[in-house]
Amino acid sequence: MGIPNPVPVDILLTPPTRVLIIAGPNTGGKTVALKTAGLLAAMAQAGLHVPADPGSRVPVFKSIFADIGDEQSISASLSTFSAHITNVVSMDRHLSLPALVLLDEVGAGTDPIEGGALGTAVIDHFRQRGAHLVATTHYDALKSYAATTQNVVGAGFGFNPETFAPTYQLVYGSPGRSIAIEIAARLGMPRDVIDAARSNLSYREQQLVEHLARVDRQLHRLQEEQQQVTQERRTAAEAERKLRAREESVREREQTLKRRLESRLDDQLRDARREIDGVLENLKVRAADLRQARRSGAATTADAGALRAETRSAIESVADRALRQAEAPGAAAAAATATTSSTPVEAGVRVHVRPLGLDGVVLEIHGKQAEVEVRGKRLRVPLRDLETTGAPAAAPTVRVNVDLMPREGLLTELNVIGCTVDEALTRVERFLDESTVTDMQELRIVHGHGTGQLRRAITKFLSDHPLVAAVATAPQNQGGGGATIVTLKD
List of domains in the chain: 19-200 (3.40.50.300), 413-488 (3.30.1370.110)
Segment among 299-303, 306-310, 427-431 with least mean pLDDT: 299-303
Residue 66 clears pLDDT 80, i.e. is over it: yes
Q: Which of 322, 312, 228, 235 is nearest to 273 (CA)?
A: 322
* CA separation, residue 386 to residues 248, 323, 383 (Å): 24, 17, 5
- Give counts: helices (H), strands (E), the chain: 10, 15
Q: What is the pLDDT of residues 340-369, one digit of tens each?
A: 445 688 888 888 887 777 888 888 888 888
Pairwise CA distance, residues 22 & 9, whole Å? 12
Higher pLDDT, 401 or 102: 102
Higher pLDDT, 483 or 138: 483
- Confidence band (pLDDT; 50, 70, 90) for 398? very low
Average pLDDT, the chain: 77
- Confidence band (pLDDT; 50, 70, 90) for 440? confident
Residue 5 clears pLDDT 80, i.e. is over it: no
Higher pLDDT, 214 or 24: 24
Residue 407 clears pLDDT 60, i.e. is over it: no
- Confidence band (pLDDT; 50, 70, 90) for 201? low
What pLDDT sits at residue 132?
92
What pLDDT sits at residue 377?
74
Q: Which of 193, 195, 158, 148 is nearest to 179 (CA)?
A: 158
What pLDDT sits at residue 472?
92
What pLDDT sits at residue 285?
79
Q: For the residues 434-456, what does the mean pLDDT come to?
A: 82
Q: For the residues 250-260, what does the mean pLDDT come to?
A: 81
* CA separation, residue 327 to residues 263, 359, 369 (Å): 14, 15, 10
Q: Which spans in 361-409 are helix H?
A: none
Pairwise CA distance, residues 157 & 10, whole Å? 11
Q: For the residues 229-233, what does the mean pLDDT come to?
A: 86
344 upstream amide cis, omega within 30 of 0 = no
Segment among 99-108, 235-244, 279-288 with least mean pLDDT: 279-288
What pLDDT sits at residue 211?
62
What DSSP state is assigned to residue 62?
S
Higher pLDDT, 156 or 328: 156
Q: What is the pLDDT of residues 112-126, one digit of tens each?
A: 777 778 888 888 889
Residue 258 clears pLDDT 60, i.e. is over it: yes
Q: Which residues contact 22 (CB under 8 A, 6 or more apart)?
A: 30, 33, 34, 134, 135, 136, 137, 154, 155, 156, 157, 170, 176
Q: What is the pLDDT of residues 84-115, one digit of tens each?
A: 788 888 888 888 889 999 988 887 767 677 77
